[in-house]
Amino acid sequence: MGPLDGLKVIEVASVGPGPFAAMLLADLGAEVLRVDRVEAAAGGGWADPTYDFLARGRRSVAADLKHPDGVETVLRLAERADALLEGFRPGVMERLGLGPDACLARNPRLVYGRMTGWGQDGPLAPAAGHDIDYIALAGALHPIGRRGAPPTPPLNLVGDFGGGGMLLALGVLAALLERARSGRGQVVDAAMVDGASLLMTIFHATEQVGFTTPERGTNLLDGGAHFYDVYETADGEYVAVGAIEPRFYAELLARLGLDARAFEPQMDRARWPAWKERLAAVFRSRTRAEWCALLEGSEACFAPVLTLAEAREHPHARARGAFVEVAGKPQPAPAPRFSRTPARIRRPPPRPGEHTDAALADWGFSGADLARLREAKAIA
């Protein structure tokens, strides 16, 4: 079993970073019980729920959180849980009667994880937003992009998943470790704007010492350097090089058949644009496959730029088992790896409400309880 085996978590269903955090905990062995809306159980969402990869590894109950008995159902679950995750705007869970005070009154040892964009307080706390807004305000969007071009949205990796769900999971686990000492639960306020800002820590330092400039596309790691960029190949594909250290830089130039003396000093930024043009011409002279044959696995810090489908089939990914099939659907395997307690995906993503009766019974609800809740339409 995974390293979190025995941990019991309630996930009040939301979108994006909340489910991602719950997926991480479930992958690592926690028993995560997802509370879906009764409307979701009646239809909507994914036509084939087995493609809802973020919901993998857990069971689902459907409860009406606007019904007093539905709210009471979640509070009873909280009594037996180690942690609860929710991803609504500030105040929503309180209005439902499921805020931290209500849940911690039932279970003072509960760790209550909250996922929002702007945080639980501050002038923007009640405002709507999405990943792009949070990373924009955090200063994480501005540096990403080409010189002279607008900032490039980096999918929703920085706010939703890296600065959001990943840090929510970390915060919950840290609070659980602290609980082992104090015996008390607490509230974890995870905000995507905070997490995105935290991910930019080193860039605040490099800006303040003058190593990084505000002009995007001119710096070491934003595509400004000729030795850290992507290049088009003869067949219209792309390759990536990241030869920062001098010995890796020398290896790259040697394998490209270039005179290293013509590309020194490496950190002469004024010459980067011209050198980039020369490297671009070289890379356009061969196909991606040819460059892979010459450079992949070398000290030149090289990789082909793969599509998602290609990434699943790459020999390195296959050797490491980096992708697994769940219900016939290939998807990323749990990470990181553990030597004694390997993580695994327990089950495919559930249909909303698929396990209502069985899961609630396992969490202490009697047959009479279930019959009463169903008659009241508090569960589905």
Residues annotated as part of the active site: 130, 160
Q: What's the token pair of residue 333?
A: 């395997």
- Residue pair 74/101 in contact by the 8 Å Cβ criterion: no
Question: What strands, in cross-sheet order, belong to the sheet with 302-304?
Answer: 228-232, 238-242, 302-304
* Residues whose CB is less than 8 angstroms from the CB of residue 283 and which lie 6 or more positions away in sequence, other chains included: 231, 232, 233, 239, 291
Question: What strands, in cross-sheet order, belong to the sheet with 31-37?
Answer: 59-63, 31-37, 8-12, 83-86, 111-116, 186-191
- Residue pair 225/272 in contact by the 8 Å Cβ criterion: yes
Backbone phi, then psi, for 16, in 5-degree steps?
A: 70, -110
* Residues whose CB is less than 8 angstroms from the CB of residue 190 and which lie 6 or more positions away in sequence, other chains included: 17, 21, 113, 114, 115, 116, 164, 167, 168, 171
Q: How many CA atoms lie within 13 A of 337 on its CB side?
A: 5
Q: How many CA atoms lie within 13 A of 108 on its CB side?
A: 3
Residues 254, 237: Cα–Cα separation, whole Å = 22
Alpha helices in 33-127 (DSSP H): 38-41, 68-80, 92-96, 100-106
SS3 237: coil
204 burial via Cβ count (<10 Å: 0-12, 13-18, 19+): exposed
DSSP 157: I
SS3 351: coil
SS3 115: strand
